[in-house]
Structures are given as structure tokens and as C-alpha cells.
Chain A
Amino acid sequence: MATTAKLQVENNNPVVAIQGLLRGLLENESIGGVLVPVHHFGKSMPMPTLVTDPDQLSGADPLAPAFPMNSAKLLSRLTRGQTGERIAAVLRPCEIRAFVELVKLNQGSLDDVVIVGVDCMGAYKNTDYRTFLAGRDPFEATLAFHGDHGGTDKPDAGGVELSAACKSCEHPSPANADLIVGLAGADLRDALPVLADSARGEALLNALGLPAMGENGRAKTLEALVKVRTEHRDAMIEATRAVTGTLTDLSEYLSACVNCYNCRVACPVCYCKECVFNTDVFEHKPWQYMGWAKRKGSLKMPTDTIFYHLTRMAHMSMACVGCGQCSNACPNDIPVMELFRTVAARTQESFGYVPGRSLDEPPPLSVFKEDEFQETVSHMA
């Protein structure tokens, strides 16, 4: 039976309570640093920050409804090869799932990292977060966002909505974390439950010496949240399918693409050191462009845009965790996340694969099974 400890909230401020929890972890000799979103200069967007001095945790705000980037890639940098020291990382569920995928691809390791997951109530797009702040103190804004009870649907704040990815995310609770801060269903003025979800988490939690805590309705809140979000997701997929079913539709859908490749830089599971689209493979010769133009009478000059997105779908849709960073990063507001989640829903379903669910499930395309998809390949036998 997993332990649930009680993290007392003082002064109606759950952020400070979580800072305290992290401080407690950092004071534990076995942990050398904490990766956590921090408001630098006391304001603006919280950025993932590796904190080693407990005093500097005062800027940490893991509850801010901001999601400037997916930390999985950062954590991969912190855990590749020889690490030496153990760290803790405070992550959103989608960041944990992306990191699990990266570990499967040998891009990081879970050996020397303690994952602290927080129930995720969603976040705004980067541009919307600024609108949401509206000049307020970011901590105040965070507290205002969450209100008194974790997990109840938040009213429209400052005229902006949560990002589309978060609204359609069916994974608000963290999986594969060592410790979980159970925001959902908690009375944020009173106390937060901290759950140990692994042996390692259990040991750490026991060392913190927190009192035990009983059931507070988290499961029910999460269930309700998942229901709303799943409905939202299904509607989104249906709408996207309707407008991307043909190559012409897809071309129109992606017509604003300028080959900036921001989406794949932002994508946590796009792990190539250098994308093939940035290599000599796509350094076409002038005569080739002329040839293509002549063949059809014209050639849209950011070329290979559809090819690029299709390639990314082929490579990454199986591992797509739906974090929405691609849309967040797009300068031209192409709904990339919607497209990828739509495609991923199909590919992942085909293999019964849920990215980030378990380290023991190898990526389907890395496994060869002679007899699968007989209906597709039987004509070749």
C-alpha cells in the first residue's frame, strides 16, 4: 500500500507548501539539485531551472499555468551518460510520459532522477499566459488560477482559454512518477496529499517525516476531469479528421508552414541530434527546383513542407504524448497539435501502444513480429 503524506498549506498558499516539499528533498543528502519551473526576476514566464541552493527555491512555481517548453528534453540532457549526482525533477504528466519515451530511445535515464509529478490542471499558450498575467504578480496569478479547490473547472480568466492540448488531455494525473502531489480534489487552503508511487519515492517520503493523510476525493475529481477532456479530445479529432482527409486538404491545413522547424525543436520526443530536413539530403540543386517548377508550372518555394510533416508523423506519432508544444511553438498558428494527436490516435491504437505508459513496452516500430497485420501484408506472402 502506497503511502500518502500530508503536506500542510500555510497562509492559503499551496505554492509555498510545494517549495517546502522541494526544499525538504534538496536537504536530503542523496539529492543534489531540483529541476523546477522558476519565475526569474520575480516575474514573467516560469522557466525550467536546475536549483541547487535551497534558498533559491523561493522563485519556484510548479503550479503556474504556463508551459513554455516540455522539460523532458532538458531532463534528457541532465541524465545522459554518467551523471554522478541524483536530482529531482518536478514535471507535468505529459513531460514524464515524454521522458519515458526518451529513455526507451536511449536519450536519458531514470536511474539518477527522482520524478515529482503534479496533477496537471493545464496551462495557457505562451502568448496567452502573458495576457492572463495582465501585469499581476505571477505567484498571485497562479493562486488565483487554481482558486480554493484543485481540479475544479477554471472559469475563463482574463479572456483567455487553456491551450487546446491541455483541454483535450486525458492524462491529468502523473504516471511513472516517484512522488505525486495530488492537486486534484484537494482543499488548497488546507493541505496537499503527497503520494509515493515507487519504492524510491516511498523511502524519500518517509525520510521527510510528514504526517499521513486520508482520502480526499482526488480520484473522483480526476475522473470527472478526464471525462470532460476525453470528450473534448474526441470532438477535436473528429473535426481535424474532417479537414485533413485528403492530400489537398492536408496541404491547405499546413499551407502557412514556413519550414522554421520550431515544432520539431519544441517536440519533446523528436530526438534526432539534427533533423534530416536540415541535412544535405534536402539541399536541392537549383536545377532541381527549376525542373519541379517547370513540371507543374510553378513551385511553392518553401518546399517539402508536407513531406516534412508527414515524415515527422511517421517518425514521432507513435511516441506523441500530446503536450501541444508544437502548436505553442508555431509562429503561424498552424494547429499542429490537433493534426498530430489525430494521427497518433490511429497509429497508437493500431499497436495498442500508449506512449509513456511503461518502460517495459518497447516502441512498436523497434519490434519485429512476423505475423502481425496479416490483413495488411497477406497479399505479399
Chain B
Amino acid sequence: MRKQYGALVVGAGIGGIRAALDLAVTGHKVALIDRRPSHGGILSQLDHQFPTDHCGMCRMLPLMSRDSSSQYCLRKGLFHDNIDLILSAEVGAVEGEPGKFLVSLNRSSPLVDPTKCVSCGICSTVCPVRVDSEFNAGLTKRAAIYLPVPHAIPNHYVLDLDNCQRCWKCHEACPTGAIDFKFEERKDFHILVADKDPEVRAMMEKHLGESNFPLHFTENGAEAVDLLAESDRFRLVLLGLDVDGMDPERVLTRCHELHPGLPVVILTDEARREQAEELVAQGARELLVKPLRSGRFAPWLDKLYMRIMSDTTVELEVGAIVLAGGFECYSPASDPAGGNDVWCYDHPAVLTAVEFERLLSGTGPTGGKLLRPGDGKPVRSIAWLQCVGSRDVKKNADFCSGICCMFSIKEAMLARKATGGEAETSIFYMDMRTAGKEYQRYRNHAEQDAGVRFVRSRPHSLFPDDGGGIRLEYLDDEGRLVPETFDMVVLAVGARPPKGTDRLAEMTGLTLNDWGFAQTRQYSPERTGSVGVFAAGSFGEPRDISESVIQAGAAAQAASRIIKAYDVLAGIATEPEPEYPDVSREPPRTLVAICASCPTLKQTVDIEGLAARLARVHSVCKVATVGSACTPQGWADIEAAAGEFKPNRILIGACMPYAYIPRLKELGRTIGLNPALMDVVDIYTATFGGKGEDDGKAADKEIHATLATAVARLQGADPTPPPVMVDVARSALVVGGGLGGLTAAMAIADHGYGVCLVESEEQLGGSAMRLHTQLDGSDPRKYMEELIAQVRKHPNIKVFTDSRAVLSRGIAGRFRTAIASPDGVFPLEHGVTILATGAHEAKVYESGLCVHGSVMTHLGLEEKIATGQLDAGALSGVAMIQCWRRRSEDRAYCSKVCCPEMVKNVLALKERNPDLPIHVFYRDIMMPGFLEHYYTKARKAGAVFIRYDKENPPKVAFEDGKPVITARDPILREDVVVRADILSLSSGLEPNDVEDLQEVFGVEVNADGFYREADFKWRPVDFLKQGVFACGTGLGPRRMGETVASAKAAAQRALRILNAETIARETVVATVRHSLCSLCQACVAACPYGARVVDLEHGRIKVDEILCQGCGACAAVCPNSATVLKGFHDGPMMSVIDAALEEPA
């Protein structure tokens, strides 16, 4: 039977993980797949992310129902009850329709049995193969059997069959027999060869003897079909195009009819290759071109045999599909147009950005030291070259990758830090695209405080230097050709769609854009051309982490709507938690089961001695040695021992403890003991040392300490008391009736929950109503008007215009808010709040705006063009100034909307009057992603773009009421004077004033007045205060599509709360022992979640158990442990430490 899921998420990078988690926490089952053998995508290779320059991925983990997922490093592992992570798997076929897609996954076997592999690494040591390590971006080598990433949990070796030499050394060396080359099954692998070529038969008979495959030959197609019809023993068919008796195409068809799934390989000669390819398209597995050479044929057949025998297909039925394939980095080496020569990429001192990240990583080739590959010399000067493979029409990249500017700044900062400021860092760029929230600040900080040099120039050429470095030549501001030598050059390579996107598109029926990314809709960036298939992360457009995470949230929201609409998996009930007897008053009796199945334990330590010593540890009632704890038999032994000795604690010493968590729950049910009183610890890793005598002793000590520590921990274990519950008020309050608020309201209302939408203006629509056109030619007004109409008539949405939220109390799940409307103040109970208060065009009173009729803002110009007030044909010249009031010291942010707005006006004017001179004065053109294309178009249309510096802005004067702009042209290197009929200014976005709302909802804003999210990258639409979310331009400057994405992402976060009837307290929360508490309130200040307050009336500290996330900061700061973190009481913790330090007697 097909396994059912709410959604399939393709790609387990950051976008996929976010989408999967967002769906999982709202109660949907998710299959999360990745073709790589590890999760995390490109981020598994990147250690540091701006703006903190740390990691922070774990902040994506659920904050509620935390017990349903593991709560540790998300880089290492992703475990959630509702997520099945399927690695090394690709989509093979998709059928069906939204609500019921039938998906086949091709799962490539690692050829190492993960249930047997104990990650000892011996196989890798004996493997003679050395190829470039993907993880270290080719800076180090790996064996053919290797760990894909060093940090995963579980971390099993995988075999890279393509590079395997079939020496079988790893198979012989593996202590647990985990590597399976299927030697035993060869004799049953019957191969039918239908081919007329006598050489083929001769070669096979001569050279395949050792392979042990039973071979069957025929020259006749009809006979081959007869043989297949007679018996089902054949596992592979080699079909020559020259067979007699039956057309090979017919043979193939009959094969598939008789034995679906039987692999058929076509043998052809070069002349008939096309015909063979056609057969492959019809379902043959692959083709081989004759003549066949034994030296290549035998290994090929061996590997094919192993693939056929080991690989599996997984059949799923899913409601919706989320594509989160991420992007691939442009490779300068792969560029057929001779990119190598331009960028010197084959030189060891030239690295791509990812390679540089690996070089800086603690798990990289140099352990984080900045040493040049090749000669290992310390690197003291580095140049970053921006836009390598981006913004380059010649390389089919008329788009901006959107991420490179920021990662180059980050890398420069990291390089400065890693060398203690000794490395000189220079970034060569065209425009620094710091359009994200606070990005401009980061850049300013890099330039002004961290000493990163920014050079606006595109280096002309790169040459190897005698000293092992690279010489660059570039034009400086004065127009001189400047040579400069660097120890290292980093190429900020751009993004490309991931391999296989075209095939995925074919299967799922979506369309791709000109650059191979999924085509998405203007006002729904998560929607693709195919219903029920959504784009998350960078799949639709290259995006940075924060935007990817938002985009993933939007995709999850859209998938969730499909799941809801088609009622997928309806009626599947969750099992109730069983009740366990209370053993807290019994003296602890611990059963210790030691798994002795793998030989490494026996070889290293004296198991009997270990058991005898453990038996003397307090509370241990029995030490049992069992066969294989991982097999049903071993498990039965443990159950039997539990039945016999009636323990109230169970400890299992085995390998790979995480594999046992679901089993402990089962065991708990069987023997009636709370799984919280059981534990599994790893006693095998300690045995993978050398072979010396002392190693045995050290391992013995370590294993004893591990087990004794766990015994002590179990003694103090405290099974959960009944959880505190909050009854959820299942409706939402949305503040703000602009694009963000309307979208969020619709998203929640479509899930069947009530929404109260409060707008302070008299009309819905917000600032998006001021737009008339969009760059892609769509009509934003029409879209807004339709959206408003939908909201107005939605049965679940109540709209209050001219109204405000004036007071709010309560916690996530149950807020009580007072709404002041024209009809008076009324109370509202709701479970969540979404703040979508938006932004407005900044007021400008400079350069003659509001004084001279010829000066206007871009928005004003757009309106005049759209309404026909302005006749473009009658104009003799237009000037535009960008960043007029932005990005100065007090406004250190990019408004993100002004450059597209400017380009839109340029194109509109040029369309009406192609010869109209247009001069645009700018600082950095911010056209990220595919918007770049329009910038190219505007330049092609003849608009003149003149850059200016913050220090030398253009001067505006007026002659006869007409503007005259004087500025320095850095290309001509002289002052230019532009006379125009119209001066259009970009004025930028300013967040709407939310001082009152900050107070009402207990949220914060940043220095620019935009809402401060819980975490810019990982929780971009959450507030620190649970149950309150933000979206739209109130959160940060955004264009319309991004506003929609943020609104849907916020709605999805909110649905997590609304979908629950009650919110339960978590297992690990802090409590206060009031009799010990001195009320010093150190804990109140220490709590990062605001979960603690002083109750002045009763003179005690109160803990909000829903807000508490169990981080333990309070317990650490409390001097006398009046604050206790459940499960981490001082007494048991000291016993654990004590046990860990104990010397074996």
C-alpha cells in the first residue's frame, strides 16, 4: 500500500526543512526527500551566516509541542514525529491530481546497511580510491566509501558506486558486516542476453566467469519473449537492436507487460544510437554502445547488478507537493565559453565562495586557518569579485543572484576575524545590493568598523603572479588601469537552477522561466504553473535565507490549503497517550541491558567484568547481556528480562541510541513503564580506538562511566505530571487591511477559522492601491480590488475599518483584545495576532518637491503616466534621482521598492516616447533576482544611468521652474548638467507609526521603526512574544510579491496555534520553589522568553509554562536553585557528574 502524506517536500535544504516543519507542526504528515545522502542543503557546508556571523538553524525548531521533535542541532539531525526524512531519493514519477498525487521515489541505496553501520570508519581507511570531497567543495579528497557530512546524526557511511573500484576491501574490513555487495545472490541473478552479435556472447562467456551470473543467450527476440514468459527468474535483459524474429521495440513492450519493472538494457552500435535512445525514452533502463569491451563491461555489469539489487522505489500518496530544490552554484570551470581563462579558476589561489567558506570552516581542510590551497601559505590579502555568472547576459544570466553581495561582505568580515585583522579584504563590485532588512547597516559596519574595502570596478583580467597569488587589473575612479596583487581571489559565483529541474518540471507539469527556474505568479510567488505544486525557498528565484524561509512558509501555507480543501488524511486519529503507573515512591530498580552483538565490544572490553561492576552500582537490579538489541529477538530478550525482574528503570547500552526512541515507547506500552524512565546509551563508539592495551582500558572506563552516568540520570528521572493546558480561542486578529493583512486574513479564513480584520483607515487596500502597473505588465489594482472583494464576502472574516486595537492581554492561544470601532469599544477573544500595519511613502520636502510642479515622486509620476495627465511625447527630458532620502546615516536602509518603481517609469516613458532622454542618478541599483532583466531592458532602451556618491549628491536648481541637475559623472569623470522637464524622486518607504501597538501587543521595532522579528533569518515573521506575528512592509521594505509571501508565512505560523484545540505544557519547563526564593528577580531578567514575572500581590515569581522554553537560563542564574528546570534538578545532576567521574573499582 502506498504510504499517505499530507505533502511531499522535495529538497531538504533550509527551504524544504522550513516548509516541512511548518506543515508538520500544524499536524500534517510530511515526506521530506533529498537526493543527497544528507539533509541541510548548501547550509550544511556554511558555518556562519550574517548578520550574527554564527549559525542559528536550530531556531527554526518548533517552540510548541517541542517534545514531538528532537531539540538539538538541526544541522546534525532533523527528527519530528510528523516528518519522514527520506534521503538519497529522487522523484521518479508523479501522477494524479491535487489532493491525491501518486508519487514514486527512486531511492538509491547507500550499499551500507544503516542498521549495521556503527560509523567506525575502517572502510574509508582501507578504500584505495580518492576523489574530490563534495562537502569540502573539492578542497579535500574522500574515499569511495565515505561520510557525506561529518556532523550528521545518525551518520552512516555511504558507498559511491560510480567511483568504486570493486576491490571489496571495505567489505572485508567492516567489523559489523554492514557493507553488502550481494555476493550470495549473484547465482540467482539470471541474465537474458538477446543479441545476434557473436562477439558479445564470446566476450561475456569468457570474461564473466568470476561474476557468477547465470547467463542465457538467444539471438531471437520472439524466443527471448518466450523465455521470459516461461520463467520469472530473470533479473536483467540485455537486448540488442539486431535481434531476429521480433522488433526490439515489441520485445521491450512485451518485457514490461510480462514483468513490470524488469530492467532492460539496450545494446546498439553507434549507427543506431537514435533508435536506442528512443527505447530508453520508452522505459529501457539505459543503452550500451557496441563493441563491448570486457574491461569496461564487467565493472559496469557488476555495478548495475548492485544497483538493481539494492535500490528501491518508494510509493507515496500525497496531497500537495512542495518543491524546494534550492540552487546550484555557477561553476566557472563548467562554462564552455572559456570562463576558465577569464577567471583563472584552475589556479589554486582562485576559489569560489563556497570553497572559501569551507576553507574558513572548522571542519574544512585547514581547520579554519586561512591558508592558501596549493602552497599552504597564510593568506594576507583577498579580493572578492562580484557577479561571476550573474548579471551576465552572455552566460544566460540576465538576473541577479541576490545573495552574493551579502555573502561576500560576510566572508570578508570572517576573513578579517580569522586572521585577527591581518588580512586585507577588498570587494570588487558593480552595485552592492544590500536591499534586505538591515543589510545596508551590515555593509556600513563592514566598511567603517571592520575595515573591509569596497571597490566599485569590474576587474579587467586576472593573471597568476610569481609569488603564488593573483594579479588583478581594474579601472579606478580616475580611469587608470590599476594592477594589484592578491594572495587569494574569491569568485562570488551566482545561482543556477538545480540539476534535474527540467525533468521535475516535466513530471509535475510546471513551467520554467527563461533561466530555468520555476515560473511563479506575480502576486503568489509560491504558486507554480501546476495546481497543488508549490515552490519554496529558491526554487522560483534565487533567495537568501530569510527570504527562502518566508517563501517556504508561504509554500507550506498553500500546501496546507490544498490538504484542507481536499480533506487529505481526514479521520486518521492519533493514538491516545497510555497511562503509566506512578513509580515515584518505589525505590529505583534499574535493569541494564548490554547489547553484545557486535564483535568490537567483546574484543575491546571484558563484558563480564563490566557487567559485574555495573551490578554493584546503586539501584541496578540486573545486568543482562542480550544478543542484538536492534533485532526482534534481542528486543524480546529485553522484554523478558523486564518481565522477570520488574524494574522501574531500564537502561540499554547499544549503538546508535536515537534509533531506539520509537521502540522505547512500544516497550513502555508492553510492560507498563513510562518511557521517560528508560534510556539508551551508546557504548560502541568507545570501542573504535586503536588496538593497544591501554585503549581497552580507556574504552572500559568510558563505557562504564557512560552506563553509570545513565543509571544515575534515570534514578533522578521525573516522569511528566499532567500538562497544563490552554484552551485555544480559534480565531485570529489581523491588524492592518493592506495587501499583507488581507492575504493573511484570507489564508486563515480559508482554513475555517474566524478572522477579525482591523484597519485604521476607512478603506481597505493600503499603499498598494497607489500602484497602477507592474513591471511584468500585470494590473495590481485589479488584483487588490478582487482581493478586497473576496475578503469582504468571506463568511469567516469580519472587517472593521476606521478601527484600532487599543488593549490586549493574554498569551498565545488566548488573547483578549479591546477594539475601538466607530460603533464603540468591544472585546475580542482570539488565539493569534498578526500585525500587518504596513508602510507609507516617505515625505520629501526637498529639491523643489511640493514647490515646483515639475518635481514629483516616482509614485506621482507613475500615476500621471497611467492616468494620462502626462503626455510622454511632449517631454524633452526626464531626470530621476534614487536614494534621495535613504541610506544616509539616519536612514541606513534600502527601501527596496524605489529602483523597480524607477525602472517601471523609465520603461513606460520610453515605450511612449523612445527618443525621450532620461537620466537616472543612483548610488546602487537594487534590482535583485529576475528584476535585473528589466534593468537591462531600461539600459537598452537608452536611459542613462549616472552613479553618485553619498558625499556628492546631485545638485538641483531651477531655471524657469524647470529642474537643472548638476552631478559628477564617474565614467566621463566630469560634471554633467542635465536639464529636464520633470524631476522624479525616489522617496522610499517609512514604516507606519506603531508606537501604540508596541505597547498594546508587547512587541518591539528596530532602529528604523520596522518590527523586530524573533530572528531575522530563522524566524522572520515571528515576534519573540509567542502568538503574535508580523508581515508585509511593517516588518521591512518589500515588494508586493514578497509581502504576499510574508503574509502567508505568518498565517501558516498562526495556524499552528489555531489548529490545536489546546496547547499543552512541555516536559522541560522551569518551576519555582517559593519557600527558597528570595525574590531577587535575577531570573526575570535572565529569561529570554519573557516567561517570568513578579507577582507582587502574592510576593512570588510566576512562570508562564507555555512561554517557558526550558532553556535553563533562570536555573543557571538562581544562586540557591529556588528555580528548578524539570529533569535537571541539582541533586540528580550532581549524581550524574559523580558517576561520570567514577573510577572503575
User: Footprint of B on A, CB under 8 Å?
Assistant: 81, 105-107, 271-276, 279-281, 283, 287-288, 291, 294-295, 315, 365-366, 381
Q: Which of A81, A105, A275, A381 contacts B1120 (CB 8 A)?
A: A275
**Contact yes or no, B1080 A276, CB < 8 A:** no
From known contacts A106-B1079, A107-B1080, A280-B1131, infer whether A272 and B1120 are also in contact, taking CB-CB under 8 Å. Answer: yes
B residues 1043-1100 near A (Cβ < 8 Å) are 1075-1082, 1085-1086, 1099
| CB of B1145 within 8 Å of the partner chain | yes
- In the assembled complex, how far is the CB of residue A125 from the closest CB belonging to chain B, in whole angstroms? 28
**Contact yes or no, B1119 A315, CB < 8 A:** yes
From known contacts A279-B1120, A295-B1143, infer whether A106 and B1130 are also in contact, taking CB-CB under 8 Å. Answer: no
Instruction: Across the interface, name the chain A residue whose C-beta is closest to B618.
Output: A287
Query: CA–CA, A295 to B613, complex, Å?
Result: 13
- In the assembled complex, how far is the CB of residue B621 from the closest CB belonging to chain A, in whole angstroms? 14
From known contacts A279-B1121, A295-B1142, A295-B1145, infer whether A274 and B1076 are also in contact, taking CB-CB under 8 Å. Answer: yes
Chain B 1102-1145 near chain A by CB (<8 Å), digits 1 or 0: 00000000000000010111100000011100110010001101
Instruction: Across the interface, name the chain B residue whose C-beta is closest to A316.
Output: B1119
* Chain B residues with CB below 8 A from A366, complex form: 1082, 1085-1086, 1117
B residues 362-390 near A (Cβ < 8 Å) are none
**Contact yes or no, A106 B1081, CB < 8 A:** yes
From known contacts A106-B1080, A295-B1145, A366-B1082, infer whether A276 and B618 are also in contact, taking CB-CB under 8 Å. Answer: no
Instruction: Across the interface, name the chain B residue whose C-beta is closest to A365.
Output: B1117
* Chain A residues with CB below 8 A from B1117, complex form: 365-366
- A-B pairs, top 8 by smallest CB distance, nearest first, are A272-B1120, A276-B1120, A281-B1130, A105-B1080, A315-B1119, A273-B1078, A281-B1131, A276-B1121
**Contact yes or no, A276 B1119, CB < 8 A:** yes
Instruction: Across the interface, name the chain A residue whose C-beta is closest to B1130.
Output: A281
Query: CA–CA, A294 to B616, complex, Å?
Result: 12
* Chain A residues with CB below 8 A from B618, complex form: 287-288, 291
* Chain A residues with CB below 8 A from B1143, complex form: 295
Instruction: Across the interface, name the chain B residue whose C-beta is closest to A281.
Output: B1130
**Residue contacts A-B, CB under 8 angstroms, 27 given:** A81-B1099, A105-B1080, A106-B1081, A107-B1080, A272-B1120, A272-B1122, A273-B1076, A273-B1078, A274-B1075, A274-B1076, A274-B1120, A275-B1120, A276-B1076, A276-B1121, A276-B1130, A279-B1076, A281-B1129, A281-B1130, A281-B1131, A283-B1131, A288-B1135, A291-B618, A294-B1145, A315-B1119, A365-B1117, A366-B1086, A381-B54
Query: CA–CA, A272 to B1082, complex, Å?
Result: 12
* Chain B residues with CB below 8 A from A271, complex form: 1078, 1080
Instruction: Across the interface, name the chain B residue whose C-beta is closest to A272.
Output: B1120
Q: Which of B1077, B1086, B1134 contacts A273 (CB 8 A)?
A: B1077
From known contacts A280-B1131, A366-B1085, infer whether A107 and B1120 are also in contact, taking CB-CB under 8 Å. Answer: no
Query: CA–CA, A281 to B618, complex, Å?
Result: 18
Query: CA–CA, A291 to B1139, complex, Å?
Result: 10
B residues 467-518 near A (Cβ < 8 Å) are none
Query: CA–CA, A291 to B1078, complex, Å?
Result: 34
- In the assembled complex, how far is the CB of residue A316 from the closest CB belonging to chain B, in whole angstroms? 8
Query: CA–CA, A288 to B619, complex, Å?
Result: 11
- In the assembled complex, how far is the CB of residue A325 from the closest CB belonging to chain B, in whole angstroms? 18
* Chain B residues with CB below 8 A from A288, complex form: 618, 1135, 1138
Query: CA–CA, A381 to B1099, complex, Å?
Result: 40
Count of residues in B whose CB is under 8 Å from the partner chain: 27
* Chain A residues with CB below 8 A from B1082, complex form: 105, 366
Query: CA–CA, A287 to B617, complex, Å?
Result: 10
- In the assembled complex, how far is the CB of residue B1145 from the closest CB belonging to chain A, in whole angstroms? 7
- In the assembled complex, how far is the CB of residue B1077 from the closest CB belonging to chain A, in whole angstroms? 7
Instruction: Across the interface, name the chain B residue whose C-beta is closest to A296.
Output: B1143
Query: CA–CA, A294 to B1122, complex, Å?
Result: 32
Query: CA–CA, A145 to B126, complex, Å?
Result: 87
Query: CA–CA, A274 to B1075, complex, Å?
Result: 8
Instruction: Across the interface, name the chain B residue whose C-beta is closest to A279.
Output: B1076
* Chain B residues with CB below 8 A from A275, complex form: 1120
* Chain B residues with CB below 8 A from A279, complex form: 1076, 1120-1121
- In the assembled complex, how far is the CB of residue A231 from the closest CB belonging to chain B, in whole angstroms? 34
* Chain A residues with CB below 8 A from B1085, complex form: 366
Q: Which of B1076, B1131, B1142 contacts A272 (CB 8 A)?
A: B1076
Other 13 A-B pairs with CB < 8 A, given A271-B1078, A272-B1076, A288-B1138: A81-B1099, A106-B1080, A272-B1119, A273-B1075, A273-B1078, A280-B1131, A281-B1129, A281-B1131, A294-B1145, A295-B1142, A295-B1145, A366-B1085, A366-B1086
* Chain B residues with CB below 8 A from A273, complex form: 1075-1078, 1120, 1122
Query: CA–CA, A273 to B1086, complex, Å?
Result: 20
Instruction: Across the interface, name the chain B residue whose C-beta is closest to A278.
Output: B1120
Query: CA–CA, A288 to B1134, complex, Å?
Result: 11
- In the assembled complex, how far is the CB of residue A309 from the closest CB belonging to chain B, in whole angstroms? 14
Query: CA–CA, A337 to B1117, complex, Å?
Result: 25
Query: CA–CA, A366 to B1086, complex, Å?
Result: 7
Query: CA–CA, A279 to B1134, complex, Å?
Result: 14
Instruction: Across the interface, name the chain B residue whose C-beta is closest to A280.
Output: B1131
Query: CA–CA, A49 to B1086, complex, Å?
Result: 37
Q: Which of B1099, B1121, B1129 has the most CB of A within 10 A?
A: B1121
* Chain B residues with CB below 8 A from A295, complex form: 1142-1143, 1145
Query: CA–CA, A161 to B974, complex, Å?
Result: 86
Query: CA–CA, A76 to B1077, complex, Å?
Result: 15
Query: CA–CA, A107 to B1077, complex, Å?
Result: 11
Instruction: Across the interface, name the chain A residue whose C-beta is closest to B1099.
Output: A81
* Chain A residues with CB below 8 A from B1131, complex form: 280-281, 283
* Chain B residues with CB below 8 A from A272, complex form: 1076, 1078, 1119-1120, 1122
* Chain A residues with CB below 8 A from B1077, complex form: 273
Query: CA–CA, A366 to B618, complex, Å?
Result: 39
* Chain B residues with CB below 8 A from A287, complex form: 618
Chain B 44-57 near chain A by CB (<8 Å), digits 1 or 0: 00000000001000
* Chain B residues with CB below 8 A from A105, complex form: 1078, 1080, 1082
Query: CA–CA, A44 to B1086, complex, Å?
Result: 46
Query: CA–CA, A308 to B1075, complex, Å?
Result: 21
Query: CA–CA, A295 to B1142, complex, Å?
Result: 8
**Contact yes or no, A107 B1134, CB < 8 A:** no
Instruction: Across the interface, name the chain A residue whose C-beta is closest to B1119.
Output: A315
Instruction: Across the interface, name the chain A residue whose C-beta is closest to B617.
Output: A291
Instruction: Across the interface, name the chain A residue whose C-beta is closest to B54.
Output: A381
Instruction: Across the interface, name the chain A residue whose C-beta is closest to B1074.
Output: A273
Instruction: Across the interface, name the chain B residue whose C-beta is closest to A294.
Output: B1145
- In the assembled complex, how far is the CB of residue A296 from the closest CB belonging to chain B, in whole angstroms? 9
Query: CA–CA, A180 to B674, complex, Å?
Result: 66
Query: CA–CA, A81 to B54, complex, Å?
Result: 43
- In the assembled complex, how far is the CB of residue B649 from the closest CB belonging to chain A, in whole angstroms? 16
**Contact yes or no, B1145 A281, CB < 8 A:** no
B residues 839-885 near A (Cβ < 8 Å) are none
- In the assembled complex, how far is the CB of residue A267 from the closest CB belonging to chain B, in whole angstroms? 12
Query: CA–CA, A154 to B1138, complex, Å?
Result: 52
Instruction: Across the interface, name the chain A residue whose C-beta is closest to B1132.
Output: A281
* Chain B residues with CB below 8 A from A276, complex form: 1076, 1119-1121, 1130
Instruction: Across the interface, name the chain A residue whose C-beta is closest to B1131.
Output: A281
Query: CA–CA, A275 to B1121, complex, Å?
Result: 9
* Chain A residues with CB below 8 A from B1134, complex form: 281
Query: CA–CA, A276 to B1085, complex, Å?
Result: 21
* Chain A residues with CB below 8 A from B1080, complex form: 105-107, 271
Instruction: Across the interface, name the chain B residue whose C-beta is closest to A282.
Output: B1131
* Chain B residues with CB below 8 A from A274, complex form: 1075-1076, 1120
- In the assembled complex, how far is the CB of residue B1098 from the closest CB belonging to chain A, in whole angstroms? 12
* Chain A residues with CB below 8 A from B54, complex form: 381
Q: Which of B54, B1119, B1130 has the most CB of A within 10 A?
A: B1119
* Chain B residues with CB below 8 A from A365, complex form: 1117
* Chain A residues with CB below 8 A from B1099, complex form: 81
- In the assembled complex, how far is the CB of residue B1056 from the closest CB belonging to chain A, in whole angstroms? 29
Query: CA–CA, A275 to B1075, complex, Å?
Result: 11
